[in-house]
Amino acid sequence: MPLWKVYHPVGAYSQKDKKAISQSLSDLYGRMMPRFYVGVIFQEVNADNFYIGGEPNAQFVRIWVDHVARTFTSDAMKVGFFNRINEILAPWISQRGYDWEIHIDETPFDLWTIQGHFPPREGTEDEKRWMSENRASPRTHA
């Protein structure tokens, strides 16, 4: 599961934009895990509720990502991932003139369930089945 929380100015994104962003992120992760793991929450924030450096900022997008299904195993992997997500998000952030910040938290895999099931480990036959079915099912690592 990656869960993306996108805090953005009111009116920054249309429903079409939100769907396109969510699909682009799901496409990125869907090459290595079930697409249904990917969640994206868009939260509009009024300019008078978004402060950067003690001043209101109506041109700022803040993204908080929780990773559980995968963790980064090297600095090169981290840099490559951030480069890729900045590229993916550019049409909706930098190319629209927004400033932005992104951070990722990594939660231990064993502290996560989906529909009450412990997800299968990376690369296992069970995970491959979850990917092909695009849904949770009982056989897992627990």
Q: Are 34 and 134 in contact (CB under 8 A)?
A: yes
Can you give the CATH number for the domain in which 81 is found? 3.30.429.10
Domain of 49 in residue numbering reads as 2-107
pLDDT-derived band at 139 (thresholds 50, 70, 90) equals low
Q: Which of 96, 98, 118 is nearest to 108 (CA)?
A: 118
Cα gap 45→42, rounded to integer Å: 10
Cα gap 15→21, rounded to integer Å: 10
For the chain, the domain total comes to: 1
Does any domain span residue 51? yes
Does any domain span residue 129? no
Does any domain span residue 127? no
Does any domain span residue 67? yes
Q: What is the pLDDT of residues 24-39, one digit of tens each?
A: 999 999 999 999 999 9
Does any domain span residue 138? no
pLDDT-derived band at 136 (thresholds 50, 70, 90) equals confident
Does any domain span residue 113? no
Q: What is the pLDDT of residues 71-108, one digit of tens each?
A: 899 999 999 999 999 999 999 999 999 999 999 999 99
Residue 138 pLDDT > 80, yes or no? no
